[in-house]
Amino acid sequence: MLVKVNDNIILVGTAHISKESVEEVKQAIEKYKPKIVAVELCKRRHEAITKKDQWENTPVNKLLKSNNAYLMLAQTFLSSIQRKLGKEYGVEPGSEMIAAMDEAKKHGLEVALVDRDITITLKRAWKKMGVREKFRLTWEFLKAILGYDEEELEELDLKELMKEDVISAMMKEFGEIAPSVSTVLIHERDEYIAKKILDESKKGRVVAVVGAGHLKGIKKYLEQKEVDVDLKELEYVPKKRFSVLKTIGYSIPVLFVVLIVYGFYTKGSGLVLEMFLYWFLINGICSAIGAAIARGHPFTILTAFVAAPITSLNPAIAAGWVAGYVEAMLRTPVVKDFKELSKLDSLRDFWNNRVIRLLMVVALANVGSMIGTFVALPYLLRLGFG
pLDDT in tens, 126-150: 777 777 777 777 776 666 666 554 5
| Mean pLDDT, the chain, integer | 79
How far apart CA 233 and CA 277 sit, in angstroms, is 50
Mean pLDDT of 307-320: 89
Q: Which amino acid is at 289?
A: I
Output 54 or 215, whichever has higher pLDDT: 215
- Residue 269's contacts (CB-CB under 8 Å, 6 or more residues apart) are none
Confidence of residue 155 (pLDDT cuts 50, 70, 90): very low
Q: What is the pTM of this model?
A: 0.67
How far apart CA 282 and CA 302 sit, in angstroms, is 14
DSSP structure class, residue 127: H
Q: What is the CA radius of gyration of the chain?
A: 24
pLDDT in tens, 210-224: 987 788 889 988 888
Tell me how far CA of residue 308 lies from CA of 151, 290, 302, 303, 313, in angstroms: 36, 11, 10, 8, 9
Contact 177, 133 (CB under 8 A): yes
Mean pLDDT of 349-356: 77
Confidence of residue 357 (pLDDT cuts 50, 70, 90): confident
Query: Which pairing describes strands 110-113 and 36-39: parallel, antiparallel, or unpaired?
Result: parallel
pLDDT in tens, 172-184: 666 677 776 776 6
pLDDT in tens, 71-126: 666 666 666 656 665 555 555 667 788 889 999 999 999 999 999 988 888 788 77
pLDDT in the model for residue 54: 60
